[in-house]
Every structure is written in C-alpha cells, then in structure tokens.
Structure 1
Amino acid sequence: MNDIPLYNDLIEKIKEILTLNSGISLLYIDCSKVTKIEQVFGKKIYGDVLRKIKGAVIGMKGKEIMPEDIVATDNLDGSEFLVFLSKKPEGKDFSADGFDMMCKKVSDCLNSAIFPITFPYLQTKPKISVGYSIILHNPLIKEERLINKLIEDAKLMAGYREFKRLVQTKETLQELIIKENISTFFQPVVNLNTFEIIGYEALSRGPEHTEYRSPAVLFDAAAETGLLLELDRLCRKKALLNARSLSPRYKLFINCLPSAIHDPEFKDEYLKAFIKEVAINPANIILEVTEREAVENFDLFKKAVSYYSSDTGFAIAVDNTGSGFSSLEMVVELKPQFIKLAMTVIRGIDKNILKQELVRAISSLSGKINSIIIAEGIETQEELKVLQDIGIPYGQGFLFAHPAFPFPGIKRF
C-alpha cells in the first residue's frame, strides 16, 4: 500500500523547514478529476486506481523531486497532493519561470505515468494540474497560518495554469478546425457468417504526430473547450467528402453527436445539396448517434431523427450500446435501424458470462424493435466465435481490418 500521510500529521516537520530555511516552497498536485471513476465504476475500482496514482507520485522522489521533499495529501480522499520542497536543489532556478518549468515537468511526468492507469475508465487523459507557491517566514505570524496561505496560493496557481492550458488547447483546436486538418479513415463492417463487407465506418483523426491523432483526446479537448459542435460538423463533412469514391453497394456509417440533428448546416436544402455534390445515395448513409452528449429532450430529439429517416432517407444507429444506461435508453426511445454494441462489451466476451447474457438480451430486444446489431471492437477469434454462437449478424474490429484510407479489405479467414 502506498500510504501518503495527511499534511496536518507532518505539520511540525514542515514548520521546522519553514523556520530553518526562512521560507518554504510547495508544489500542489491536483488529481481530483479522476474521482469521476468512483462515480461511474464504484469505490473498489477507484481505490485501486488511487493506490497506483499514489505510487506514481511517490515514484517521483529522486527524479522530478528530491528524496528529502515531504509528500503529503491535502484531503482524506487522497486525490490532491502537497510536495513541500525541503531545500533549493543545486543549480535550480527558483524564479517564477523556474517554478513553472518544474510544474510542467511534474505534470508531464504524472500525466504520462497515470494515463495507462486511468484510460480504461476515463477514455482520455487524466489532466493532472500542478501549481506552486513560496512563502517567507514571518516571526510575527503563526507558522500554521503561513503554511495554510502557502497551500491556498499553490491551489490558485494550479487553477491559473489550468486556465492557460485550456486557452492554449482552444486556440490549437480552433486552428485545426479552420484549416480542416482532420483525416478520415475507414473500417469495414463485416457479415460475421459470410465475411462479406457490407459497409464502412468513417473514423476521424487529428493531425499526425500530435496527441490529437487519438479521437478520444481530440473529442475530449473539444468538449472541454466548447468546440464539440464545430469539430463534429467538420468530421461529418470530411467523412462524406472522403467517401465519394465508395461503391454504391456499401453502407457508410458516420458518427454524429445528438446536437448535430439540430445543426442548421446538416438539414434541409443545404444538406440535400451537399449529399448531391458528393454523389452518395442517402439510403446508404447511417448516422451513428454517440452518447458523448446527453439528450435533454427525447421528444424533440425523436422528431428531429424522424426527419432524417423520412425526408433524407438516412438510417440511424445508436453507438456504444451496452456501455451505460443512456445508450440503452436511446435504443428504447429511438428504435433505430442499427444497434452498435460497445467494444467494452465485446472485449473478452468469450471469458465473461455476464457480457454474453447482456448481448443476448440486447439481441432479443433488437428482434422486437426490428433493429440490426453490429458488434464493435472484435479482436480475437474467440470473441468472434461467441458472437456467432449468440447470433450477432455483423461486426467490425482489428480482427478483420484496422482503419485505413481509402477502403481496406479484410484479412482472410
């Protein structure tokens, strides 16, 4: 167990450093964004994740921080850490710029170390915030009050640095959207009995050699900077433009947010003219509605969806079904033509009876509402065999082909 004490339990030692050095410096490390894991996956999984995070923080000793530095937690939850610097390291610049560089180094180190721990649950970067502060010893003021002020200032600095990060992220994404710097890759959707390709899903990627190449990072950054609609609109546009050469015998699956249904640039004459321009049969287009956004009003949403089915001829698919309650609610409300099972449900299904029963239940539901099921993220022959036995008709995943451009074939079986 990586036990890190509360800073109150170490207050005498901290006061001693403050007096001895005539001042003290602090790094505040905020990992509180990972508490979302507890809300979704429960306290046991969150406890395991937090234990590993504490190990990563302690592991910085002798590297990013000095072995003598005091590491403590600021709360009982243990998701916020305080590093009291025991002394000025030799050759280190403790100016504002020097501290800022140290914060960046610690932040980069922890984000890299914690990413593989939290990604299976958050599906994005953990976003660790780090702030710093310095306080000088004042013999007229109680040491406890000085230390509390030190912590308060470091938290404010962490908030300021996080604000700067968001501004820089927004500027980067705005430039990416303006320059339309999005690539489209296609992954085949396959008949699981005949192994014939029935269509392709269009998948968007950010610029090569950047963190935004990952769609999870790209769309998460757009969500936190208020640019989801703009990015989603661009990805849909690029998907349709890049699919112009797709054979008319194939379906085209395009991801879209629920809000896209109300986008004025994605309806009426504007949409019809664009579809005509790219020369794709509307009956071959399936809109995959993702649950990245919550649907606030299902009655309005259903009316908008029915417009796409009746007026444009598009079909609707609900993406990531089985990954949470909202996707199942969307299936029940929309009764879509296609249901796409989440890869988290498919991963390791051959070893998990509960996942198998969940897929059987969704398969039974699909028959009652006349929906077609597609399993996402199939990676092994064993997973494929279970899905075939259950009677899932279609699927996609690395077992058949990785996403590519223009339109990849599938591996031989």
Structure 2
Amino acid sequence: MEREYDFVDPESDEMDESIHISLVNADVIPDYHSGALVTMQVSAIASEVSYYPDEASFTDNPITKIMGRPVLFPMNRAVNFLGSSIVTGEILSVRHYTFINRAKEEVPIYFIEVETQYGTLPVVHPASLVKEGQQEHIHPGAIISAVCDIQGDVAIGDYQQGAILDEEHLVALLHACFVERDFTRLSRQLAEDCQYVNRDDEICAEGGQDVLAFLKGVMARQEEEHIPCYAWIGEVTGYELEPGEELADDLPPVGTHCIMLAQNEEHQLDGTLFLTLDEDGKIERIYSAGWKYAACQLTPISLLPDGGEGEEKDEQADFERIDKPRTESEYLDMLASAYKKGDFHEIVLYYSFALTCRLEREPANDFITYRVKDRESMYEHLMQNLPALPERSVQVIDGAPWGHEGALQVKSPKAELIVYLDLDEDGSIQTMHEIWQ
C-alpha cells in the first residue's frame, strides 16, 4: 500500500520547508500523525530528466517554463512543484543496473546520487529517459535536474519483516482509523470472534465484520448529526484511589495504551477505548471504559487534536490554493475576463488547466491541436488567438447547443469564436473546445 505525506527534516532549521513523499509498504507502520518521526529509505523516481555539463549550462537551459518564462530551481535541493518534486544538483556518483521487467526484458537503469538539503538522494531512472546529446554529461561533477516522485520505503529496521502486531501498534492503528475517519485498515487485524463492548459491559457487536460495521455506523451517525470526534493515543500512567480503596484486579496495568476520545468541540475527554488481543496478535475485544476504570490516570502520548498547546493558527491558513477546483461557469468568467483584457498572464487561469490538457477545434486543424498538450502549450495557444480576434466583444452565453451549461462567445470583425469546456474528475479544465466561424 502507498500513502502520501509532506515531511520536514527534524534536524533542519527550515521547519516550514516540506517535501512530498509517497510511502511504500505504508501499512507496516500503523499510525501517522503530525509531528511523528518516520524512518524510511528514500529514493527519487524520475519521470523526466536533463543533464548539463556545468551549472552555467543549466542556468541557460531551464528544465521548464511557466507562461513563457523560464523557471530555475535552486542547486542541490529537492523542492515540491505541481504535485511532483524537482531535484537539481551536482552529481556525486553514477551507477548502472539492469532491471528485468514483466515481459522478461532487460531495462538499463541509472542510479544517480545528488546532494540535497536533506542529504544524499539517489535519483533513479531508465536509460531511455536520457535526452539526445546528454549521455556524455552523465558523470560526477555534471548537473542533473529531474522531475521526480520521491518514494520512501518504511519496511526497514523493526518493520523489515512486516507489521508488528502488539497492543502498542494496534492501538496506534485504531487511532489512525479514527483520525482518518476510515476503518478499512483495521479489518485485517480483527479476530473472527472479535467483540465490541460498551461501558455498560453490553456486547454491541460480535464477529470481526460486525464490529467493523458497528464502528463505521458510529462514524456515519456522527457525520450525519455533525458530532465532532477527536482521538489521541493515551497511556495508563497510574491510579487515583479513594482512601481505603483497593486496586481492582481487572484494571489495565500501568503502561497500557488506549484511545482517548472527545466528542465535543472543547476536546473534553468523554470516552476511552482499550484493546485485548488473542494469541495470534489479533484484536479480540474493543471495550469502552466504564465507571470501574475511573481510577486509571491517563496521559496523552500523541499530539492533542488542537495541536497540543493551543497554538496560534498559521497566518497563511486563509490563503487559497491557486489550482483549486472551480465550476465551469467560474472558468468561463475567467476566460472572458482574459479575452477582454487581451492578457492571459493571470496565474490562477494558467493553473485552471489540468497538467495534461487538450484542445478540440472546429474546423479541424491537426497542426494546432497536436501541439496543445499541457498548460504551457495551452497558454501559448491562447496568446496566439488574440491577434486573430481584434476589436473583440466578449460574453458568456447559453451552452445548451453544445450540451453545456454555458459557453464563451468572442466576436470580432475578422472572426467569431465559441468556447466550451470539459472538466476532469479533479475539477480542472481537461479539454477546451473552440468553434471558429
């Protein structure tokens, strides 16, 4: 299983700088939460790569452009960029490997080590990605710039043989399920005869699948009735007994982990869940602590739901993503505004298009449509439309004739243009249709 997170280097002074990492074998670690330390073996899998003889050559030939302007990335760094990462720096070492694919074919692989702000990072890619004429620059001391998916394998160290099934790790897994509002990962760790017992010692569900359905049902009711549910990991650290009171034999011992729940906006504890495991390490019982557990002193050992110390909110919390999904109507209004101004340099409009997008044109012109395949080429195309539509009037019209809610009409003494849009599942513009008259 693969999961994606943003990480920061705990030893770095630049804690506001994060890097996006896809975790491989992610399920061997039960819980991920803000502030957790995760050990992993990291590599960068390149999807595009360029080599340069020296830093000057790299500066003169940037790997990418935005709105026609070259974008230069800092040397010896890995940075987030449009859902991927850009790794740029001086090559420390070069190694060659051969990979056998599913078709039993030998695929030559490059393993390039680059120094970054996080230490030495290997960039891995097939030899087929090397551009013509750049082979001679693949050596120590040359420069590499690569578009990568940075992956971290967490199945190392204690987790090299797989997940650890003990109370500590399974409590952490249940905690993650509450935080993520998804109990799917828990299903494989429930014993067939697992029970969910409430604070009145009543069995609410019996059998692994029924317990899973019960937990999902509780979550669904909370969402339907807008009941908050905050969870953090707790530990029994002692007992508080009344004078003359004896410690009950069935209380969990000091060091036992549990889930502390708060079903209120004030984060006031109103529920605690403990686990018991069977001899196979599966969860055989989830029980909600009732009055007899009142003597237990519980201490949270994961971050509190509000961040721990009532920290002030990030000053940038109200900033909107420039690539956030919008409606078809909003995109048409943005295009209308750009045509009226005769300027497509608005960065929000640029990122309205999907990373890979296309143009459909009537009458057909394969030369034009073939070269429009991404944001940058779409931007260039829109800029080239302006001279063909001088003294233009622009309005959003009814899109029913083309099966859409709206369309854009651009009129000029020389030509008339109709535009309507198809969005992808993420809410970005996937296809722009143009009808020229």
TM-score normalised over the length of structure 2: 0.25
More helix by share: 1
Return the index of the structure with the highest Cα Rg: 2
More strand by share: 2
TM-score normalised over the length of structure 1: 0.26
